[in-house]
Chains A and B, each alone.
Chain A
Amino acid sequence: MTAVITRPEALLYDGVEWDYDKIKRVYDAVEHIALKEMGLDVYPNQIEVITAEQMLDAYSSIGMPLMYKHWSFGKHFARDEMMYRKGYRGLAYEIVINSSPCISYIMEENTMTMQTLVIAHAAFGHNHFFKNNQLFQQWTDAEGILDYLEFAKTYISHCEERYGHAAVERVLDAAHALMSQGVHKYPKKRSDLRTEQRRERERQEYQDQTFNDLWRTVPKPAAGQRPSKSVSERKKLLGLPEENILYFLEKKAPRLEHWQRELLRIVRHISQYFYPQKQTKVMNEGCATYVHYQIMSRLHETGQISEGAFLEFLHSHTSVVFQPEFDDKRFSGLNPYALGFAMMQDIARIAETPTDEDRQWFPDLAGRGDGMAAVREAWANFRDESFVLQYLSPHLMRKLKLFSVRDDAEDPYLLVDHIHNERGYRDIRKKLARQYDLGYLEPDIQIVDVDLAGDRKLILQHRVTNGVLLDEGDAKAVLRHIANLWGYEVQLIEVSAISEAILKEHAVTAPSGIGVV
């Protein structure tokens, strides 16, 4: 127990080296503050120590500890590795996975202060958010995700053995291209990944049991005999229009094999799992940053970490929440950490020490006391878009000196249409909220029509807002992928959302054989 003699009684640790005892001590202290003082509610924690290379690994497979194999992950790894080795880019200090138990990765290179910060940030901040935000509660299945990924990995590698790498790769390529279009935005019921796994097995068994070669010999009705249904009737039968393209292809594409449909389903589930994270970037990071800041400050106040450690923490904290201004070389959009953290602090401030302006803008929130409860409430009930719309205060807009710019390709100049003044607050807030609205950010593409009895041409529609068309090269490539899955001609029409006028058309002819690129 020599260590106790050299450090003051209250300090949790001393120096930069970490070991398991220190981590345990720190974890207990952090847990005490997080649960008892801040009232957080978290999944059980699992902390895993990994090396830099493993961190790169995790990066390239979208942060998940296990993932099926695909060349695109290899590509990301190759690039990240080069960036890292050349020193262009550092590594994240942590990765956290929305699962139960909640897994946080910490890197062996980190100092003890960094490990403390990571525990506070990931194991409590993100963890609390994952467990309590309504989007995550509604959309993701934290208990099931790791098992499901295991299933997906095994299933895909079986497919590779059985049908060949190339065939599997073609389907996965196409599915990845459509990942953003593979999400149910209005879930019918909470998806349970374990049930999904079981259902896939049952489907397979049912098919095996009921297989009857006789069906093949049933004569097909001659073409033209079938009464052609009215357009609205056939759309209704197919559930059109449908914005979840992957779902539609999985269910309705006439020429896919069972396993190909299953691959689409796997990619779709994974995409769905990440959908809430895409919608809560600012809040999620804001929450974690706010939590780590509070916890570290408390540890410092109560004399559990040294001045030196606190300074080290402040150094990395300030670089995380640094927001370059628009004319700065380093500017690349609003930093979600900075905005999130600033808003959380602002909410607590309004709840505890409001100004007259705040009382006017936030009558329910201002002066209610207990800032922590107020932010917890915000974390539970909002996503980025509604969060900004609800909580961005004039005070913060002035602090960040926000202004909005309109870029009309027709005009030679950019127009500053609102600044942080009395007239501009509401508009800036509305516009900023919009920048975080996925429904607005991502192009609105839907499958609108297909005549299954006729030429089976699949027709997609992009409803163009503000005259911004799709990137042509990529759109064509994705259409090619869709055509490979669908098996027949595919057409994409870009129409103006306002006038319904057709602005542009893309078409891809049917592939000569299924899956032929």
Chain B
Amino acid sequence: MNIIDRRLNPQGKSLANRQRFLRRAKEQVVKAVRDASGKRGIQDIENGEKVTIAAGGVREPSFHRASQGGVRDYVVPGNKEYVEGDTIQRPDGGGGGRGSEGSADGEGEDEFRFVLSRDEFLDIFLEDLELPDLVKQKVKQSESHTLTRAGYSVSGSPANLNLVRTMRNSLSRRIALKRPKRDEIREMEELLREAEESGEDAEQIQALREQLERIVLRSKRIPFIDPIDVRYNRFETVPKPIAQAVMFCLMDVSGSMTEHMKDLAKRFFMLLYLFLKRRYRSVDIVFIRHTHEAKEVDEETFFYSTETGGTVVSTALEEMQKVVQERYPHNEWNIYAAQASDGDNMSSDNAKSAALLRDAILPMCQYFAYIEVAAEHNMGLSALGRETELWRTYKQVQSPERPLAMRRVRSRREIFPVFRELFAREKAGA
């Protein structure tokens, strides 16, 4: 007997099959994911999602008998009271266990239910979204460069010598020029020695000697490696695209923002973060909260500590501008900003905010999303058409060439759809 421990064998043998399955069910899975994403909160994103798809596309049909009609016989155990000739009320829907035999081995299910992993879910959810202006226009001027392999050259430093290429050239040249091989020379020497030892035909010895001389000479004339064989790896410098992004989260934390609103804002920020994370190698986050004055804070403080005061939006924009200047030179970073607010602003500040946004913030941003959160039960005055101060202000700034998008969110359910709308592939922004 052999005992083999297979536990350490590579896991996930079924992965290839799973991918084939997902590809097969793509259409339905995408639809299911869209439906599901409307219902779930962002923190659930950490888990996989159970999706249910119609079995139609992934059905495996076979010839089998229908579950209805005809005459069927069953033998079943557990008779208690029946005698021959008794009749039994037909159980509903062929139930009572007997029906399950009747339906043979066909798959009676109409729906197929399984769990998508978190990555699969996100992949499908984010599939047709893209970041607006993904690459900085200024990439060409960027300082950072990287070396990339670019074929071979005939000159270069010894460290870059490509041995394989060189030897291949050398070999083909030697074959083409018929350079005698070492074995041939040795063979000839052997022949000559034999002939000399036997001391026979002097003429033949002479001929052999000349022949040997000829091939030795030839092998000397044709070098083993010639300078024309030598090849070097060639490198080119290419500008490195900016693979880092910074995301600014701006939020109004004045008294008018309720927990619910903050929660909505947080969800939106998280989603944006997840999204950026998949596109850039590193993503920095800066949290700036403001009342009548703005401060950069850590995440905990950002979401959970309360502050009182008025609402002056321009302070937050100024703070952002300052942070960018200090730490995130905008030709090296992709800058994204998301601002959440309930739409209040001090009337006297509106003009200043608009100017700041138009002249300073938007030009350096890849994208600026403004999310106006509202109380869930408040049917939303804004929804009825009355616009808030800030909304009106930003609306003036908005124009097709500026990367500014504005959306209103009232409940958790709307977060995903709004997010999708903002980043839908064809046209970003409002």
Contact = CB atoms under 8 A, between A and B. Distances in A.
Interface in A395-449: 400-409, 412-421, 423-424, 428, 431-432, 434-435, 441-443, 445
B109 to A, nearest CB: 9
A27 B100 contact: no
Interface residues of B, number: 66
A407 B112 contact: no
Contacts of B82: 403, 416, 419
B379 interface: no
Contacts of A406: 71-73
Contacts of B9: 50, 54
A81 interface: yes
A467 B71 CA distance: 6
Interface in A71-86: 71-75, 77-79, 81-82, 85
A432 B75 contact: yes
A74 B64 contact: no
Interface stretch (A283-291, A345-353, A474-482): A474-482
Q: Which of B9, B17, B19 has the most CB of A within 10 A?
A: B17
Contacts of A177: 60-62
Interface residues of A, number: 101
Interface in A323-380: 323-328, 331-334
B84 A418 contact: yes
A71 B21 contact: yes
A47 B4 contact: yes
Interface string A468-495: 1111111101100100000000000000
A215 interface: no
Contacts of A82: 50, 113-115
A404 B2 contact: no
Nearest to A398: B79
Interface in B70-107: 70-80, 82-90, 96-98, 100-102, 104, 106
B70 A419 contact: no
Contacts of A169: 20, 24
Contact of A50 (B7, B59, B61, B106): B7
A490 to B, nearest CB: 13
B6 A474 contact: no
B101 A333 contact: yes
B18 interface: yes
B56 to A, nearest CB: 10
A82 B80 CA distance: 38
B385 interface: no
A416 B114 contact: no
Contacts of A327: 78, 80, 96-97
A74 B70 contact: no
Given A78-B18, A326-B97, A407-B98, A435 B75 contact: yes
Cβ-closest 3 pairs across A and B: A325-B78, A74-B21, A468-B70
17 contacts: A46-B2, A50-B6, A69-B17, A81-B115, A82-B113, A176-B60, A325-B80, A326-B98, A327-B97, A334-B76, A400-B77, A402-B76, A403-B75, A403-B79, A421-B84, A431-B73, A478-B63
Given A60-B14, A331-B96, A406-B71, 5 more contacts: A47-B1, A48-B3, A334-B76, A445-B63, A472-B66
